[in-house]
Amino acid sequence: MNENVLEKCVFDEAKLLAFGFCPQEGKFVYTEKILDGQFRLEVCIFKNGEAGWEVFDEDTGEIYTLAKVFGAEGAFVGEVRLQVGEILERIVHKCGTEKVFKSLQSEQIERYVREKYGCDFEYLWEKTPDNAVFRRQDNKKWIGAVLTVAENKIYGNLQKKIEILDFRAKPEEIEEIVDGKKYFSGYHMNKKHWVTVCLNGSVDIEEIFYRIDESYLLAKK
């Protein structure tokens, strides 16, 4: 059983409700009894993108900790883990899609633009399925793009992949903020009007949100 299967997905709220999840403050909760009613699985999908689950002993009401112990031996715990795994896989299949972007900041950006501006990430290129754009709803102009590139395309000599954000900025501001450390000239964009940041924590997420808001306004023109 893959205990992290929920963390690798983005969930559709309507599908969660149709599956049987109940909305609570800040989350959706699903419960199902397993092992002939001896245990209860509780799955929580939080609106901030996090997800988790616990197994409870129905007699005592306490958490059955062995359900999460990798390598725990015995037919009994094995059956518990098997049934939990089947339910989690069913939830993922019915309600979720695998996350394309892996970094926390990419997830935060996707959630931010959806909640504030009502726009979703759009995956436009078949050859690069790990690249996305998001745009204004009124004129369809791009606000920004989240891309997966080789790190040495931005800085350093490493070949590992890194996620970046391209956003719009005023030409005079670009001259001030591009420093080759936190802010870079727009990757694959018009460098007079676009800036790039790496989504690795080098720029605080609140500062990134501010830049997205500014980019949204510039995309109106």
29 vs 6: CA distance, rounded Å: 13
Residue 95 and residue 11 in contact, taking contact as beta carbons nearer than 8 Å = yes
Same domain, 143 and 174: yes
This prediction has a pTM of 0.64
Domain around 17: 5-98
Report the length, in residues, of the chain.
221
Residue finishing a domain among 73, 98, 123? 98
* pLDDT one-digit tens code per residue, 111-128: 899 999 999 899 999 888
Instruction: Looking at the chain, list the stretches that DSSP marks H as alpha helix, in order from N- to C-terminal side.
Output: 13-19, 75-95, 104-117, 171-177, 205-218
pLDDT bucket at 83, cuts 50 / 70 / 90: very high
pLDDT bucket at 208, cuts 50 / 70 / 90: very high
* pLDDT one-digit tens code per residue, 18-65: 999 999 999 999 999 999 999 999 999 998 778 999 999 999 999 999
Same domain, 81 and 40: yes
**pLDDT (0 to 100) of residue 154:** 81
Same domain, 91 and 175: no
pLDDT bucket at 3, cuts 50 / 70 / 90: low
**pLDDT (0 to 100) of residue 197:** 96
**pLDDT (0 to 100) of residue 218:** 97
Same domain, 117 and 152: yes
- Asked whether residue 1 carries a pLDDT value surpassing 60, the answer given is no
**CATH code (residue 184):** 3.90.1150.30
Handedness of CA 142, 144, 148, 152 (dihedral sign): positive
Six token digits for residue 192:
């007079």
**pLDDT (0 to 100) of residue 158:** 65
